[in-house]
Amino acid sequence: MSQVAVVADVCASLPDEFYEKYNIAMVPYYVHIGKESFRDPVDISREEFIEHLRRADPLPKSANPGAADYIGFFREAASRTEEILAVCMTSIGSGAYQAALLAKQMALQELPDVRIEVVDTRNVSMGYGWMALEAARSAQAGAALDDILALIQRMIPVTRMLQTADTLRYLYLGGRIGRAKHLFGSLLRIKPIISMEDGVIVALGQERSRSAAYRRMVELIAEKVGPRGRIKAAIVHAADEEAAGILRQMIADNFECAELLTTNLASALAVHTGPGTVGVCYFPADVL
């Protein structure tokens, strides 16, 4: 039995069944549609949210969980272990990391015998989800908390997200576009490829079609891991299973995949990228 409890959140975008399978606590984010607030995915399904997103004007907004949300999960975890690991998406794009740190300080007042560690993964979506998943797998295998922390630190610099969408409109309006802002003027004519470097969204290029964007993604991965490199990869999409299947096959054809998943982008992230977003999050398998 694991002695380390792993706490993540819905933005890890893990396959739904993985949270229960690997005993990962999932902290909801919030999405606001007009004057209504919903916990993602507790109060609104991805399918319902995407339909709102397609037609909403103004666009829905997202909000990170607060310290009160995290402390509830810390209390629950403390009922079965004395070691808790909270894995958070990039602190630059979300306040969840700061909220988890505050919750840690609050929890230690009432749980002085519990060790709580909070990690800023400097990544997002399954880039961050992979770290939560591998941490939970290690915990289930009996790894010590310090060893799990060391594993995540090895993963942070080599875990990458590559993503494309039909438009940068959602990122631009949501204020999350970062150093990719210069692409905004070409929104209607390009398929942008974006990534994340040290927690900030960056532009890696632009193509005239989705197929060209997918081919460029394959090239970018090969530049990092080599042709036929051995990786673990996750295809992440927002309501576009067909496109996800195409990209998945290209990844399978060009790399040795120790593990290859397909999963849905969390609604709290789809707010900023829009319907039809497709991407791949990967890391070299030999880092484990």
Contact 279, 163 (CB under 8 A): yes
Q: Is the pLDDT of residue 159 over 90?
A: yes
pLDDT tens string 7-66 = 999 999 999 999 999 999 999 999 998 889 999 989 998 888 888 888 767 788 899 999
Which residue from 196, 237, 238 is spatially nearest to 248, judged by alpha carbons? 237
Q: What pLDDT digit, counting tens, does each position of 86-106 carry?
A: 999 999 978 999 999 999 999
Q: How confident is the model at residue 248 (pLDDT cuts 50, 70, 90)?
A: very high
SS3 category, 231 = strand
Q: Which two tokens stand for residue 276?
A: 């039809």
* Phi, psi values for residue 4, rounded to 5°: -120, 125
| CB atoms near residue 52 (< 10 Å) | 18
How high is the pLDDT of residue 182? 45
Give the pLDDT confidence score for residue 192 in this predicted structure. Answer: 83
Q: Please provide the average confidence, as pLDDT, over all residues in the chain.
A: 90
Task: For each of the domains in the chain, give its residue range(s) and CATH number, in order of start.
Answer: 4-28+65-157 (3.40.50.10440), 159-287 (3.30.1180.10)
Please tell me the predicted confidence (pLDDT) of residue 185.
43
